[in-house]
Amino acid sequence: MNTEPFKVCPNCKTLWETMETFLSDPELKMNGYQVHFDNLEGGLFFFTHHHEGCFTTLAIPVTDFLSLNDRPLLAKRDKQLCIGSDFCVHQGDMMPKPVECECIWVRDILQTIRTWPKKD
């Protein structure tokens, strides 16, 4: 059994015991995603902790959120349908894409995180 918390803020030391408590925290705002083209599982999600006196940005590996994904990780990209990697290089572009691509599973995770209910 893992006794480590899901994440700890490096600045203010706030502890999030589970991924669910992390995603439910109203003081956390997702800023975007950074792709790693050579290893798609090496990408990072960025969150800012909007806690008074903190405002730290956390870079969290995509792999920490794989349980939110139910797609194959490396679905083959259809180069005729892919509208280009331009969308993948814009950190703040978190909208779903209308085509199948290698990163569609990341986009699914982004949408799950963006719509995760925040606690009151």
Question: Which helix or strand (DSSP H or E) is residue 44 part of?
Answer: strand 44-49
CB 43 within 8 A of CB 54: no
| pLDDT of res. 85 | 52
Per-residue pLDDT of the chain (120 residues; tens, 9 = 90+): 668 999 999 999 999 999 999 999 999 999 988 888 788 788 899 999 999 999 999 999 999 999 998 776 655 555 555 555 555 555 556 565 555 566 778 888 988 999 999 998
| pLDDT of res. 38 | 80
| pLDDT of res. 82 | 55
H helix runs in 1-120, sequence order: 19-24, 104-114
| pLDDT of res. 97 | 58
Q: What is the pTM of this model?
A: 0.79
